[in-house]
């Protein structure tokens, strides 16, 4: 039987060839076909920059780039894993997954397995052979790590017979990042990868972890534009901004006549009335997630109305706030967004993720995407002497067992 994702009910377009390649490589390495497979997509952040740890709202989307994780039972107690893109292998004992220094990618698998093992009780911990392969470019801001965790988590849960819901699996992936990979991420990447839906955006409430999928017009898509720039102040400045947001929440809790446990509880109108009591920098830092929350809530209604030009303006507003208030942009990202505003067909643009480098995301009509993307690449190369990496992505289905 031909190895095809469509035969398993999954329509992932350009990933079909990746799946067939993964199947072939699995047979070549292990001498037999796989018995279990899962797929998980990467993600983009559309609106809601730095709102997750402020208990706010985020609008995101799973994309049509992802990772396949294939496995089958093995004899003995040793699990063998292969990264299919570089054909690098690594082993660990089935009952004792632990963090490793190298290869770093193994930590996303062992960390996810460690979380699943806590749900196994006394069930046998069988060994397996596994291979993963995807088409998410590393370092492009599309969260290849979460795609590996979620595809691996779904395949391992199916293999071991673990019954877990999506939010539990998202938390297991987050714990793998924290304890095994050493990355203090939130839940946005894992939730979006799991809850994505074709032609829908994902709206997440990070206070309640309620997730809603909101229909998006079929004639829009996104450009992801990787600047290939990463500035040295990332980690320290990220932590400093979290601290400033927490300090601002404490300030507003002392001034407002309702409880404030996070900046989610403060409106822009309340900020306007009371921010004079804070130092200017902390006040500007606070305005960014406060304004972002209101932009995400408005964006949900705009999506339902099909008002894409208005949604695009919110993305430009978001980046302006990142640039001026949160100061987590950089010259490369600012150039991309300013350039996007001048290119016909691009409706909105903003930085994506933590900032200080990395990627921008742009809202564009599907018929204009290739032309607009080429214009962005050309302008960036003229300005900086090298091309940025631009890809067209569309809102797509979330992770699933094949």
Catalytic residues: 189
Tell me if the bond preceding 103 is cis, omega within 30° of 0. yes
* Pair 284, 324: CB distance under 8 Å: yes
Using DSSP, state whether 47 is helix, strand or coil.
strand
Cα–Cα distance measured from residue 187 to residue 137, given in angstroms and rounded to the nearest whole number: 21
- Alpha carbons 81 and 129: distance in angstroms, whole number: 6
Tallying the residues shown for the chain, one arrives at 402
SS (H, E, C) 205-257: ECCCCEEEEEECCCCEEEEEEEEEEECCCHHHHHHHHHHHHHHHHHHHHHHCC
Give me the residue label for tokens 């031909």.
2
Q: Which two tokens stand for residue 96?
A: 């004792």
Residue 91: count of CB within 10 angstroms of its CB:
10
Distance CA 223, CA 180 (A): 32
Burial class of 250 by CB neighbour count within 10 A (0 to 12, 13 to 18, 19+) = exposed
């Amino acid at each position: 039987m031909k190895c095809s994702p469509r035969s398993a009910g999954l329509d992932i377009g350009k990933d079909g060839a990746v799946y067939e390649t993964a199947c072939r490589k699995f047979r070549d390495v292990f001498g037999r076909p796989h018995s279990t497979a899962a797929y998980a997509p990467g993600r983009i952040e559309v609106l809601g920059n730095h709102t997750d740890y402020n208990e706010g709202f985020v609008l995101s989307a799973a994309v049509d780039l992802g990772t396949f994780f294939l496995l089958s039972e093995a004899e003995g107690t040793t699990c063998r894993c292969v990264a299919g893109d570089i054909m690098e292998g690594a082993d660990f004992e089935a009952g004792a997954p632990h963090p490793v220094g190298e290869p770093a990618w193994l930590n996303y698998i062992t960390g996810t397995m460690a979380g699943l093992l806590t749900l196994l009780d006394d069930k046998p911990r069988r060994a397996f052979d596994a291979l993963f392969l995807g088409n998410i470019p590393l370092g492009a801001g599309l969260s290849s790590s979460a795609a590996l965790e979620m595809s691996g988590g779904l395949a391992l849960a199916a293999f071991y017979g673990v019954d877990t819901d999506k939010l539990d699996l998202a938390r297991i992936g987050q714990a793998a990042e924290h304890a095994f990979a050493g990355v203090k991420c939130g839940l946005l990447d894992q939730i979006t990868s799991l809850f994505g839906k074709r032609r829908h955006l994902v709206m997440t409430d990070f206070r309640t972890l309620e997730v809603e999928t909101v229909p998006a017009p079929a004639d829009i898509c996104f450009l992801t534009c990787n600047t290939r720039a990463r500035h040295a102040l990332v980690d320290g400045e990220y932590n400093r901004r979290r601290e400033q947001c927490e300090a601002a929440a404490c300030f507003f809790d002392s001034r407002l006549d309702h409880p404030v446990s996070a900046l989610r509880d403060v409106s822009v109108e309340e900020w306007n009335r009371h921010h004079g009591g804070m130092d200017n920098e902390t006040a500007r830092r606070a305005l960014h997630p406060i304004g972002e929350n209101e932009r995400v809530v408005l964006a949900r209604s705009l999506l339902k109305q099909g008002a894409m030009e208005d949604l695009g303006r919110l993305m430009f507003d978001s980046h302006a706030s990142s640039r001026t208030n949160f100061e987590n942009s950089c010259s490369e990202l600012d150039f991309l967004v300013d350039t996007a505003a001048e290119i016909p067909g691009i409706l909105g643009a903003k930085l994506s993720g933590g900032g200080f480098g990395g990627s921008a995301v742009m809202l564009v009509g599907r018929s204009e995407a290739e032309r607009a993307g080429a214009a962005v690449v050309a302008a960036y190369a003229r300005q900086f002497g090298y091309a940025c990496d631009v890809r067209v992505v569309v809102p797509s289905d979330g992770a699933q067992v094949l």
